[in-house]
Chains A and B, each alone.
Chain A
Amino acid sequence: MSLSQEREESLVKTLKENFPADIKDATVVRRSRIDVTVAPDRMVEIATFFRDKLGFDHPSGVSAVDYNREARFEIVYHLSSIRNVGQRDIIVNLKESVPRNSPRATSLVKIWPGVENYERESLEMFGIQFDGHPRPEKLFLNDNWDGPPPMRKEIRFPTD
């Protein structure tokens, strides 16, 4: 496998050309790994662009990260591609930040139906609301759980 990162760099370039004002940051982390940070209010448009124009049709997961020292949550959509055989090894981490005191984001289920469960998990584990989610209910936790979202950083184990 060659060590060049031409494919990754051209992807980043296309993205910056099409959304010059909305891409906060787009970098090639290493071969096959790209990080893209966007403004939450432009997420839907950029995600649609990723799916339709760049061929990222295969959602690989969604992560939520609690940066409590910076008072924000980061929501990361991990995208990969089946349609474009030449970029099947690439993972794009499409990120947006939401404030920790009012965590709200727009659901991307309409764009990738496969993210439904991951968004539900982010809701119950971090307390992030996803507007437009078809089923904003608990996934793994008991329905009668009314404690704090357990994956937040301030929640510790009793034995800790």
Chain B
Amino acid sequence: MTTSDKPAQTTDLPSMSPTEPGAQTMTLSVGPQHSGSGHMRLIVELDGDIIINAMPDPGYVHRGIEKIIELRNIIRSIPVIERPSIIDASNLNHAWVRAIEELQGVETPARGQYLRCLLNEMNRIMSHLYWLSIYGVFLGHTTMFMWPLGDRELFIDLAERLTGARITYSYLVPGGVRRDLPAGFAEEAVKRTEYFEKRLDEYENIFFKNPLFTSRAKGVGILSSERAIALGSTGPTLRGSGVDRDLRKDEPYAAYGELDFKVRTRPDGDSYSRAMVHMDEMRESSQLIRQILEKLPSGPVRRKAPIVVPRGEAYGRVESARGECSFYMIGEGGDKPYRARFITGSYRNMAAISEVLKGVRLADMPTSWWSIDYWPVEADR
């Protein structure tokens, strides 16, 4: 629309000339050309190879989603709000319908709630696997890139059977879910999750117990629990600092109150802890999938809900793969929200990036900052 004649990149990088008197630090621009970070930039200030300051520069994939969803009705917005994190679409979708249902006062039937949890947990595994594969690349471990992406197909296929789509489902709607479980789904899901858990053992042996990984992750990139809380960190990043915060337990929504699972934490706040929380959570989610299918009640999956955002305010939030995802929704009685504020896990964890990278060696930067599982598209929205 309106931009001035200045060049697009104006953040001044100081001169790195070695002849300059007093110049002791170097400023390095990492990204935004998808340097393994996704489309965002980190401005890193180095003293030798020690990072003394790292500043995230997001916005390269900002799509103005908060504006777009002010202009569409709540059903047409569902595919839009899934876009920031297509690998975790169901959880984002869930936060959206929770905000709407809170305003409408619509209760979803029990079977619908269970099916929501089913897709959420499948998505959590898919998202963590995607994270893990990129983590493998960052560490130069090609096997750990191939395996998780391959095993992710186990769940993508399942999701396709359930919803008709592989990645972006738009499966959750106000009042329930779009369709019921197809025949033979449960047997197939049990088989696949059991196989998957065996694969996780292999992951541990080849990667998580590998000195190539542990020597670069243990004790590196520290985020203390006090700082994690003060910075508003969430999800695996917060739990990796030893805080047992999980909305599925603390505000048991959908069917989570009736399901048996542990909140997995690790005490040390280093890259290793954050990585292992992802690993532990995949195991929990895998057993949760079987548990959901076992406990699945009968009955309808959807109740009729109007395409209306009643007057009032709601705060709908869920524990997505990367942490709390929330919608602060203000309704005026029309078919679209007056305002729908969209805050995602990655956006919240952005504040932790500088903290984690301070004092880390440049060579350990990928290990440290990718352990936060910061997804630029999800942060920018």
Contact = CB atoms under 8 A, between A and B. Distances in A.
A59 B59 contact: no
A60 B230 CA distance: 10
A82 B245 CA distance: 7
A63 interface: yes
Given A93-B313, A112-B232, A142 B59 contact: yes
Given A76-B328, A78-B326, A88-B250, A117 B351 contact: yes
A114 B231 contact: yes
Contacts of B71: 157, 160
B227 to A, nearest CB: 8
Given A63-B341, A160-B71, A141 B229 contact: no
Interface stretch (B23-31, B62-70, B172-180): B62-70
Nearest to A146: B4
A146 B326 CA distance: 30
B1 interface: yes
Q: What is the interface residue range for chain B against chain A?
A: 35 or more
A152 to B, nearest CB: 10
B62 A141 contact: yes
A140 B232 contact: no
A91 B328 CA distance: 11
B229 A29 contact: no
A151 interface: yes
B364 interface: no
A73 to B, nearest CB: 11
- Give the most central of A30, A33, A58, A89: most B CB within 10 Å: A58
A63 B328 contact: yes
Q: What is the interface residue range for chain A against chain B?
A: 35 or more
Interface string B329-350: 0100000001101010001101
B113 to A, nearest CB: 14
B256 to A, nearest CB: 11
Interface string A125-150: 00000000000001111111111001
Given A89-B250, A151-B67, A60 B232 contact: yes
A3 interface: no
Interface string B290-319: 000000000000000000000011110100
A155 B68 CA distance: 12
B324 interface: yes
B315 A142 contact: no
B351 A146 contact: no
Interface in A33-87: 33, 35, 57-61, 63, 65-66, 76, 78, 82-83
Interface of B: 1-4, 6-11, 58-59, 62, 64, 66-67, 71, 102, 229-233, 243, 245, 250-252, 257, 312-315, 317, 324, 326, 328, 330, 338-339, 341, 343, 347-348, 350-351, 380
9 contacts: A33-B314, A35-B313, A61-B326, A61-B328, A88-B251, A89-B251, A114-B351, A117-B351, A141-B62
Nearest 3 A/B pairs, CB to CB = A114-B232, A140-B59, A147-B2
